[in-house]
């Protein structure tokens, strides 16, 4: 299904976004350096039932920042998502976020719960969701990733990231825009490490949250973060096909599981069919 592209002016930037399909709005917030085009494989099987909105996060190639020297926080990314939802719909939306996108989604549901019908947060990498040695290990791994990028550049940092997430099949940097990878590794990794979850707001919005974990993510810190989210909020934990980037590696199967999760855990009553 053809995507309709548009641009939205927000504070300090212009966001490029795409819309596919019709139905209840579903905002896709990806992780890594993935832009709106990379959401196409996941969005295509969902567009028959949802109006799927995807976007280039602030700092990626088509979402230019007015001041490129300005650091971008998770809270700023969340505010961008809030403004994008306000521009495309007057109704509470479904939101799917993965990895960094899941952190953005969690901040969004904590600060603007009225905009969220249901959030599926797939493997959010937050030390606040871990305890003890695991908490220390994740923070140390994020710091090491930042330092590796400073010393060795993109290739070394991507290898460290693959080790952290368990994504052995992570796409080669040559297949991505280098400027997007530099922004993600130079800005967003540090932003994720510094971000502290709004746990009081999340607990208040717990009925609107589902945690997601990859079936191939066993023994990884991303999976433990998903389990920690479910434990802290008392929300459901849904098993998704693939690993940390399953929505990219197995998009059709992932989309089917996502659609089932949205149907099963939707807190808004569905209309009763006539007859």
> What does each of the 275 residues of the chain score in pLDDT, given as a tens digit?
678 999 999 999 999 999 999 999 999 999 999 999 999 999 999 999 999 999 999 999 999 999 999 999 999 999 999 999 999 999 999 999 999 999 999 999 999 999 999 999 999 999 999 999 999 999 999 999 999 999 999 999 999 999 999 986 455 555 558 999 999 999 999 999 999 999 999 999 999 999 999 999 999 999 999 999 999 999 999 999 999 999 999 999 999 999 999 999 999 866 554 54
Q: Indicate whether 139 belongs to any domain.
A: yes
Phi, psi of 131 (to 5 degrees): -140, 160
Residue 155 in domain: yes
In a domain, 56, yes or no: yes
CA distance 36 to 2: 13
- The number of domains in the chain is 1
Looking at the DSSP bridge assignments, the partners of residue 262 are: none
Residue 271: inside a domain: no
Secondary structure percentages of the chain, helix, strand, coil, to 5: 50, 20, 30
Task: Tell me if 258 is assigned to some domain.
Answer: yes
The angle that helices 100-111 and 74-88 make with each other, rounded to 10 degrees, is 70
Strand partners, 209: 119
Query: Where residue 22 sits, what CATH number does that domain have?
Result: 3.40.50.1820
This prediction has a pTM of: 0.95
Answer yes or no: is 275 within a domain: no
Contacts of 192 by beta carbon, 8 Å cutoff, 6+ apart: 74, 100, 103, 125, 126, 142
In a domain, 272, yes or no: no
Domain that holds residue 246: 4-264
Q: Is residue 53 part of a domain?
A: yes
Listed in sequence order, the residues at least 6 apart from 220 whose beta carbon sits closer than 8 Å to its beta carbon are 164, 165, 166, 243, 244
């Amino acid at each position: 299904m053809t995507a309709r592209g548009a641009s939205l002016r927000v504070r300090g930037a212009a966001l490029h976004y795409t819309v596919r399909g019709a139905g209840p709005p579903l905002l896709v917030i990806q992780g890594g350096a993935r832009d709106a085009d990379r959401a196409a494989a996941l969005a295509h099987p969902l567009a028959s039932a949802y109006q799927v909105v995807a976007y280039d996060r602030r700092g990626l190639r088509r979402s230019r920042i007015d001041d490129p020297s300005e650091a971008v926080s998770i809270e700023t990314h969340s505010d961008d998502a809030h403004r994008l939802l306000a521009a495309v719909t007057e109704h509470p939306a479904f939101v799917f976020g993965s990895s960094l996108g899941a952190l953005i989604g969690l901040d969004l549901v904590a600060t603007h719960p009225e905009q969220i019908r249901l959030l599926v947060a797939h493997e959010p990498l937050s030390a606040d969701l871990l305890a003890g040695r695991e908490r220390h290990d994740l923070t140390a791994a994020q710091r090491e990733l930042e330092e590796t990028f400073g010393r060795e550049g993109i290739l070394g940092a991507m290898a460290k990231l693959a080790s952290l997430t368990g994504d052995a099949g992570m796409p080669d940097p040559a297949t991505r825009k280098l400027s997007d990878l530099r922004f993600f590794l130079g800005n967003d990794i540090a932003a994720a490490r510094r971000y502290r979850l709004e746990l009081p707001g999340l607990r208040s919005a717990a009925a609107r949250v589902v945690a997601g974990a990859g079936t191939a993510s066993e023994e990884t810190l991303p999976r433990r973060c998903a389990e920690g989210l479910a434990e802290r909020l008392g929300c459901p934990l849904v098993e998704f096909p693939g690993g940390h980037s399953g929505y990219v590696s197995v998009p059709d199967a992932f989309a089917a599981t996502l659609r089932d999760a949205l149907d099963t855990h939707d807190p808004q009553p569905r209309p009763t069919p006539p007859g």
